[in-house]
Structures are given as C-alpha cells and as structure tokens.
C-alpha cells in the first residue's frame, strides 16, 4: 500500500511553454503533498507544501507564479511549470504524507518526472 | 535553523565489510529522524526511522542526542546495498529537511 504515482515520467518541451505534472496517491488519502526538485547528484530541495483545499506554501526562493500548485482533492496535486526555460530542467519529485495512524508523518515518494526544456 | 549534514558524498566498501554512513543534525527540540534510500532508477523509499527502532535489511541507526548524530550502520555490507542514502529530519512544520546524501558503493 501507500503508492504515489507521477505523470508524466518524462517530458521534453520548448522554452516558453507550460508543463503540468500530476501527483496521485493511489491507495490512501493525502491531506498534505510535497513537491521537491532534485538536480543531478544533489539532494532533494523542497519547493512547496500543498494542503488539500488551500493555497500551497512555497519555500524561500521558489517563485509561486512560476510553479503553480493545485491540490484539488485528497489524492491529486498538480505542479505546473509556467513559461518554462532551460534552467527549469530538472527532476521533480512529489511525495504524500499519511496523516495519522502507526505510519504517521511517513512520506511516500513518487517516481519523479524528468523535465527537459529545450 | 534545522540542518542535516552527511560528510561523505561517496563511500566505497568491500562486500562483507562493515559500513557506517554518517549523519549529523542541528535542531532545537526533540528531533524525529529518518533514513531514506534511493536505489538505481527507483524512487526514494523509507529505510528506517528512529522512533520505530527497527532493523531493516540489516541496517540500524541510533539517535545520539549528545553528539546530535544519527549514523546508519550495517555489520556486513552486500552488493545490493549500493544506493544513495539520505538522512532526513522532520522539522517544526512537519516538513522534511534532507541531508545532501551519501552514495554507497559496495564492491565485490
């Protein structure tokens, strides 16, 4: 149980276009989802925290108008990279947290989405 | 501020040798610490958390508040242990702060 999926797994787009990445919790409800960015051979950097039904909380230095996050339901959060540029090319990973129970605070990670902006 | 450090970017050991991946943290209060592992071409997954005191795949980690450390240990490394290991701390806002990671390479 506790599987998180991401779609697409890989996307290549032209500079200036927008790209939407979906993150779904498949067999549990996630009131909180997280979006990370991972550069090659580096650690995960938290971009934002999204709570179902409310606005996302962005980390310092992350442009909220560029990285739009929507957490419309308890199983789906989306990250839209608007007007993408080559420097946005990265590996984007989402995770979802189980709210309670024995596995509380445990985060389950999606497989990631490789974004390449030409 | 909360911070997690992992001093070794790369650690190579021979199969059967003991392995210790170091993790130190800075945090005011009672920390909740985790080790996550990322095998090649796979997603990040939880290896163990200090509150459960489990041994997973032969790995253990003890929280040492005096030394602010949470080192990951295994007495006999296996080739399948080769992976990227991240130490993480759960902060006040219930967000994870990840260390930079250590790539473990277990040589045959």
DSSP string, A25-90: ESSS--SEEEEEEE-TTS-EEEEEEEETTS--EEPTT--TTTEEEEEEETTEEEEEE-S--GGG-E
Is pLDDT above 80 for B92?
no
- Interchain contact B49–A (C-beta under 8 A): yes
Select, from the ranges A89-98, B70-79, B83-92, the one with the highest average predicted confidence (pLDDT): B70-79
| Nearest CB to B100 within list A32, A43, A97 | A43
Cα–Cα nearest to B75, from B59, B87, B53: B59
Lowest mean pLDDT among A34-43, A77-86, B50-59, B81-90: B50-59
Show the tokens assigned to A36. Answer: 């990370």
Task: Give the residue-averaged pLDDT of A17-46.
Answer: 89
- Interchain contact B105–A (C-beta under 8 A): no
Lowest mean pLDDT among A29-33, A59-63, A103-107, B96-100: A103-107
Cα–Cα nearest to A2, from A90, A80, A106, A89: A106
Is pLDDT above 80 for A101?
no
pLDDT of residue A100: 67
Instruction: Compute CA distances B10 → B61, B85, B104, whole Å.
Output: 19, 10, 6
- pLDDT band at residue A63 using 50, 70 and 90 as cut-offs: very high
- Specify the higher pLDDT residue, A77 or A42: A77
Mean pLDDT of chain A: 90
- B94–A97 CB contact, under 8 Å: yes
B52 contacts: CB under 8 Å, gap ≥ 6: none
- A46–B46 CB contact, under 8 Å: no
The Cα B88–Cα B37 span in angstroms is 11
The Cα A15–Cα A81 span in angstroms is 11
pLDDT of residue A1: 64
pLDDT digits (tens, 9 = 90+) for B28-86: 777 889 999 999 888 898 899 887 777 788 999 989 989 999 999 999 999 999 999 99
User: Which of the 8 DSSP states describes residue B42?
Assistant: S
Helices within chain B (DSSP H only): none
pLDDT of residue B42: 86
pLDDT of residue B39: 92
- A106–B99 CB contact, under 8 Å: no
| Nearest CB to B45 within list A34, A109, A112 | A109
Three-state DSSP class for residue B79: helix
Number of residues in chain B: 108
The Cα B35–Cα B99 span in angstroms is 10
- Interchain contact B5–A (C-beta under 8 A): no
User: Which strands form A4-7's sheet, in the order they lie side by side?
Assistant: A4-7, A19-25, A76-81, A67-73
Task: Give the residue-averaged pLDDT of B76-101.
Answer: 90
Is pLDDT above 90 for A80?
yes
The Cα B50–Cα A114 span in angstroms is 32
């Amino acid at each position: 149980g506790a599987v998180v999926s991401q779609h697409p797994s890989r996307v290549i787009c032209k500079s200036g276009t927008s790209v939407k990445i979906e993150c779904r919790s498949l067999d549990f409800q996630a009131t909180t989802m997280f979006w990370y960015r991972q550069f090659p051979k580096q650690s995960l950097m938290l971009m934002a925290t999204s709570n179902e039904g409310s606005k996302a909380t962005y980390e310092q230095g992350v442009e909220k108008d560029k990285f739009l996050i929507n957490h419309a339901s308890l199983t789906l959060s989306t990250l839209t990279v608007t007007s993408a540029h080559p420097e946005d090319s990265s590996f984007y990973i989402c995770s979802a947290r189980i709210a309670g129970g024995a596995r509380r605070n445990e985060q389950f990670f999606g497989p990631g989405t490789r974004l390449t902006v030409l | 501020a909360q911070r997690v450090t992992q001093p070794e970017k790369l650690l190579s050991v021979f199969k059967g040798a003991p392995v210790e991946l170091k993790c130190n943290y800075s945090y005011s209060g009672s920390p909740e610490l985790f080790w996550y592992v990322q095998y090649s071409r796979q997603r990040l997954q939880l290896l163990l958390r200090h509150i459960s005191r489990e041994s997973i795949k032969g790995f253990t980690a003890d929280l040492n508040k005096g030394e602010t450390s949470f080192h990951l240990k295994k007495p006999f490394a296996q080739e399948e242990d080769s992976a990227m290991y991240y130490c993480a701390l759960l902060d006040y806002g219930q967000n994870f702060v990840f260390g930079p990671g250590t790539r473990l390479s277990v040589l045959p």
